[in-house]
Amino acid sequence: MNIKYLNTIEKHDLSVIRNCEYLRYWINDRVIEELNVTDNDKYIEIISMFNVEWNRIIGTLNNSKYKCEATSGPLVSLSLKDFKFRKDMYDYYYNYVNIKERKSSNINACSEACKYLTSIYKKYETFKSECSPRNINKCVSKFDNFGDYDPNHLINELKCKSQSECNRNEELVLAKNSEGTPMADVNIQDETDESITQVSMENSHRMIILNIALPVSVFFLLFPMLYKVNKFVI
């Protein structure tokens, strides 16, 4: 996914609007990580420079299709710490919505989606406490009603098992398989549809990125800018 690809999609397609929003968060985070930015002023300076190039590309695109505009608002004015908090919060929102939309797909009680939901509850509680009342810049506005995004809703709907239960089942599979018992006799179903769920590790938590291929294609935009802004970081 990149801004040129998004420009091939119709303007009012809800999926492209959501993917553009995700792209803004993702690119800012990559700038921080790849350039090891730790200073708030330097972060804002680099993102502002990055947006100049983004806007230049936007100016060359087809006006009849969707144009993913450059980052603006809180994402270019927050401190590094608050941006990280907001990105974690948005990642959770984005993942929750995608899991909910695909809950009837091939997601079983020990799938990566279930592992993510059972591992994220403490962070969800942090979002809830930090954003009640909501900090308009630090907090994601879509979380006006936290009850709508309680991970327990999806955990119950998907009949997710606890990690300890899944671990015991995996041990059972290995034990029975070593004895020559067909694995089909054990009630464990692997996640096979990669178009449903791609898994990445972030801050020691599993983050589910559903039905979207980011790293390779987005870096066509990121790496040229990293080369330019790196001279200001060193």
Residues 46/31, Cβ–Cβ less than 8 Å: yes
Mean pLDDT along residues 154-175: 73
Which own/partner contact pairs does 56-63 have at CB distance under 8 Å and 24+ positions apart? Answer: 57/3, 57/4, 57/221, 58/3, 61/3, 61/4, 61/7, 62/7
Q: Check whether 2 has a pLDDT greater than 50.
A: yes
Q: What is the pLDDT of residue 214?
A: 36
Which of the two residues, 95 and 215, has the higher pLDDT score? 95
Residues 171/179, Cβ–Cβ less than 8 Å: no
Three-class SS state of 109: coil
Q: In percent, how much of the chain has pLDDT > 90? A: 13
Please state which of the ranges 16-20, 28-32, 39-43, 178-182 shows the lowest mean pLDDT.
178-182
Rg (CA), the chain: 20
Mean pLDDT along residues 182-209: 37
Q: What is the pLDDT of residue 208?
A: 36
Tokens 């509850």 locate to 121
Q: What is the pLDDT of residue 169?
A: 56
CA atoms within 13 A on the CB side of 56: 8
pLDDT class of 105 with cuts at 50, 70, 90: low
Q: What is the pLDDT of residue 198?
A: 40
pTM of the model: 0.68
Tokens 């700038």 locate to 31
Q: What is the pLDDT of residue 194?
A: 39
Which of the two residues, 96 and 170, has the higher pLDDT score? 96
Q: What is the pLDDT of residue 156?
A: 92
Q: What is the pLDDT of residue 199?
A: 36
